[in-house]
Structure 1
Amino acid sequence: MLGRLLAAGLACGLALVVFPSPGGAEDALTALRRTGTVGSGRVLADEPVDSRLGGMAAPASAGWGGLNEQAPIPTKPRVSGLPFLQDLINAAPEGSVLALKPGSYSGPVVVNKTLTIEGGGRVTIDGGGKGTVFVLQASNAVLRGVHLTNSGVSHDSDDACLNVRGDRNVVENLRIDDCLFGIDLKMSNDNVVRGNSIRSKPFDLGTRGDSLRLWYSHRNLIADNNIADSRDMVAWYSNENRYLNNVVTRSRYSLHFMFAADNIVEGNRFYDNAVGVNVMYSGGGAIRNNFFSHANGPTGMAVGFKEASGVLVEGNEIIYCGVGVGLDLSPFEPDTTIIIRGNRIAYNGIAISFLSDKKGTIIEHNVFEGNLTQVAMGDSGSADRNLWRGNYWDDYQGFDSNQDNVGDRPHELYAYTDQLWMEVPYARFFRNAPMMEMLDFLERLAPFSTPVMLLRDEQPVFNKPQESSKRSVK
């Protein structure tokens, strides 16, 4: 039987089946455990605890199927005239390597066993413009070097190029385009999603699908992917995932966390998106050594927090954005902090925006330069309740007489006429108008109202620090 299957595959010119698999996802995860994670200092546990529900019940309103949802094995191809890849999947023994011959194949495809599928970068799987193209409904499998394209367009059924519904799989070097959703992980843990190129369908921004979505999926590695022209990369109820060295551009949210804890975002490049990283109702983790630029428009923001707690923002370069860092009721949990440390925040409309008068943020050792507004408040409060320490301010008005690189007096930032547009949102349209600038100049000469002290940095750095090589991402 084994010989007949091999001969048939070669005779038809479709695929080569090799027995058994010499490596696969098990080897990749073993290597990952041995070397640890890149830059995060965290190592996968040998036997991770299965916490698929993240400590809470699955919300019925999500509409993404039941907890035990299983995709049926397809029986008919969607594209006539192309070989049906499912036939080769069905014939391949579990644990084998299926090396596909270059060419185009018809979807849909469901893999429900441990299998290594190799495309070598010369294989296309066409979904026929309906439903989801490929479902990896297995664990310890590998999908590598294939082109997935032409999914359906239904948001109701979340039509995607690839659904992952298992643990410890490796998905790498895929080219994904003309699909509503890109890669969707649901209740799938300890997977590696690496080196993939993802594009959505050419729809308006709000009607595209998400490029990469995690739902109740923990401890996954998302690394070295190139994502463009999609909607969001999002993680719902998903903890301890690592997003390393990805490039995301021309999308809405580069990365959006909802009820997700202890995720690491490091070494990524996010540019020309509406929002860089947004953390909502989540806690823990770090946003470290990333490059953010050109998050512009009415809601443009590099890093945003909404009722979030315990997050470290460190070593990032944030330039040319509407808002550098925005905080709304954050930190939210009692006795927690958000630390903004060692970043370069430059040439933004607003460097740091607080939408509420809430303490608990530590802002230290950052470089603030070229911003139209260094700090803004969304109400009548002050950011002085937070800790400002050892930052460089390009508008510092003081000296360093003893040359210890610490300003002789604290850096204090006051809001004069700026109070108008901070307290009245509609007035923001006029914030840099000549009349506002003139009013601000006159009020600084002879105040006709009491200015609000927004912040006080007791030990401002006098000389601009040298740019770190970690932040000089071009």
Structure 2
Amino acid sequence: MFRFFILTFISFISLNANILQDAINKAQPGSIIKLESGIYQGNITINKALTIIGKSDNVIIDGLNKDTVIQITSSNVILKNLTIINSGNRMDKIDAGIKISNSSNSVISNCTIKNTLYGIELAMVTNSIIENNKISSKDVDISLKGDALKLYYSNNNKIRNNEIYNSRDTTFAYSHKNLFSQNHIERSRFALHIKKSHTNTIENNHIIANSVGLIFAGAKKTTVQNNIITNSNGKAGIAVLVKGVSDFRFKDNTLKYNNKAFYIDAKHNETEIKRFFTNNDISYNNEAFHFHGAIKQNLIKNNTINGNIEDVVKSVRGNTTSKNIVENNYWDKYAGFDTDRNNIGDTSYKMYQYADRLWHYNNRVKFFYATPIISIINFILNLAPFIEPVLLLEDKKPLLYVGS
């Protein structure tokens, strides 16, 4: 009887022991731990420089639906080729697949993170790399999901070539000089939300079928280039939302099939150019440029604006100014001539807001946009407006052909 009790007790201890945490605790700093195929218990903490590598594609670390699966509190930690699943559900604790804090020079690569509340959180992390990972959230309503990636006071990191699906947001808060490159983000709420974060580069990403593609709030010295942002639909349906930015460089991007390509909220007291939109393809959207408040201090140059229902929309009365540089864009609605054959229109392209544009201030009127009566009103008012129209933008050198 006594022998049976001892054997049972030993078996009970081995079933509840965290083998992976024991290996981490016993390892010397700088060690490499290679894991064979199998399921390992999560809720582990790495507090020393270590490398943990899965030797096959079947190395799973399971958080058992509680807490954070892997917590990293040391610099120089490398995780590769792991499948990380089943975090807890506590928003207040930010339960995540991987949580890294007060760290530098760490690498998370070739990992699959799924059925976790948050994917990867970086808090006060510098000079680290997040690359070649696949991240998706728990199968719950989007408002109950966490962020796929969350950067908080984290600088000089590289986030590249990751695949993010069915998550809530990817966020940068007070995080500077990061590179966000070659990522694919699909079916999320905000593909990337950058707030109070400066000197970040966003390039070569593919962002598709999210409620909002990119949001920039209070960001300075941001470069956004060579991205493809498509099919932003739903209640927001915005490819790029810009508010309170300065030295914002948006170039060589493609924005197609969105409800709104740009939603721009400018401050009424701006005194210099804040936003630079150059060499972008802005085509087949419901609205190309949607301004909320003032239309001012924008440089819009060498863009292709083609096949949009509305080129320029202003949703709030007043605060319209002419302090913009708009030239050398191709507008498919321009109906001018080019007598000297230099591919620049002889007259400028002026975009007006006529009295009939009721849907600019009342979205419910948009239901009638394509009806014959509205089309007739548009035609008549363009010929002979009964109220002086409001000039929204003027391209003084419109192009007649694309790419010239």
Q: Could you say which TM-score interval applies, normalised by the shorter chain?
A: over 0.9
Aligned residue in 1 for 2:69: 133
Farther-moved stretch of structure 1 (209-218 vs 377-386)? 377-386
CA contact (8 A) 1:354 1:383 kept: no
Which residue of the other structure, out of 68, 81, 86, is the alignment partner of 1:150? 86
Determine the C-alpha separation between the residues in 2 that align with 1:253 and 1:83: 37
**Counterparts of 1:379 and 1:402, CA distance in 2:** 39
Equivalent residues in 2 for 1:255-274, closer than 5 Å: 255-274=192-211
Matched, 1:310 2:247: yes
Q: CA deviation at 1:334?
A: 4.6
| Counterpart check, 1:232 vs 2:169 | yes
- TM alignment of 1:231-250, pairs within 5 A: 231-250=168-187
Which residue identity lines up with residue 122 of structure 1 in the other structure? N
User: 2-side partners of 1:295 and 1:353: how far apart?
Assistant: 14
- Is the Cα contact below 8 Å between 1:253 and 1:275 reproduced in 2? yes
CA distance in 2, matches of 1:418, 1:288: 36
- Worse-matched range after superposition: 291-300 or 412-421: 412-421
With 177-186 and 120-129 compared, the bigger mean Cα shift is at: 120-129
Q: Note if contact 1:210-1:231 (Cα within 8 Å) is conserved in structure 2.
A: yes
Query: Partner residue of 1:202?
Result: 139
Provide the secondary structure at the position in 2 that maps to 1:238. Answer: coil
Query: In structure 1, what is the equivalent of residue 325 of structure 2?
Result: 387
1:28-427 → structure 2 map (5 Å cutoff): 84-120=19-55, 121-165=57-101, 166-329=103-266, 334-381=271-318, 382=320, 384-427=322-365
Gaps of 5+ in 1: 1-76, 467-474
Q: What's the CA shift for 1:331? A: 8.8
Deviations 1:398-455 (A, max 9, x none): 1222221111211112222453222334434433343322221221233211112221
Q: RMSD in angstroms over aligned alpha carbons? A: 1.9
Residue 89 of structure 1 aligns with an amino acid whose one-letter code is I
Q: CA deviation at 1:285?
A: 1.3
* Contact 2:268 2:294 (8 Å CA) reproduced: no
Report which stretch shifted further, 129-138 or 119-128. Answer: 119-128
Q: In structure 2, how many angstroms separate the alpha carbons of the residues matched to 1:416 and 1:188? A: 51
Distance 1:261 1:383 in 2: 27
Instruction: Give the 3 Å change call, closer, same or farther, for CA 435–441 of structure 1 in structure 2.
Output: same
Which AA in structure 2 matches 1:92? A
* 8 Å contact kept, 2:266–2:296: no
- Cα distance in 2 for residues equivalent to 1:85 and 1:368: 56
Please list the CA deviations of residues 160-180 of structure 1 after superposition, one character each: whole Å capped at 9, or x if unmatched.
100011111011111000001
**What's the CA shift for 1:193?**
0.4
1:445 paired residue number? 383
The letter for the 1-side match of 2:357 is: Q
* Structure 2: gaps of 5 or more residues: 1-11
CA distance 1:325–1:237, change in 2 (3 Å): same
Q: Deviations over 1:142-191 (max 9, x none)?
A: 11110000111111111110001111101111100000100000011111
Amino acid at match of 2:36: K
With the length of structure 1 as denominator, give the TM-score of the two structures. 0.79
Cα distance in 1, alignment partners of residues 322 and 305 from structure 2: 17
Q: Distance in 2 between matches of 1:329 and 1:348?
A: 21
Contact (CA 8 Å) 1:105, 1:124: kept in 2 or not?
yes
Per-residue deviation, 1:335: 3.1
Question: What SS does the corresponding residue of 2:375 show, helix, strand or coil?
Answer: helix
Paired with 2:356 and 2:73, the residues of 1 have a C-alpha distance of 56
Structure with higher strand content: 2
- In the alignment, the residues of structure 1 paired with residue 361 and residue 82 of structure 2 have an alpha-carbon distance, to the nearest angstrom, of 53
Is 2:359 the counterpart of 1:430?
A: no
**Secondary structure of 2:198 counterpart:** coil
Q: Which structure 2 residues correspond to residues 15-30 of structure 1 after superposition, within 5 A?
A: none
Deviation at residue 237 of structure 1 after TM alignment: 0.8
2:218 partner amino acid: Y
Aligned partners of 1:150, 1:423: CA distance in 2, in Å?
46
Amino acid at match of 1:125: I
CA distance in 1: counterparts of 2:15 and 2:354, whole angstroms: 70
How far apart, CA to CA, are the structure 2 residues paired with 1:460 and 1:288?
23
**Further displaced range: 100-109 or 339-348:** 100-109
SS at match of 2:116: coil
CA distance in 2 between partners of 1:161 and 1:424 (Å): 43
- 1:21-73 deviation line (CA, Å, top 9, x unaligned): xxxxxxxxxxxxxxxxxxxxxxxxxxxxxxxxxxxxxxxxxxxxxxxxxxxxx
Which amino acid letter does the alignment assign opposite residue 399 of structure 2? V
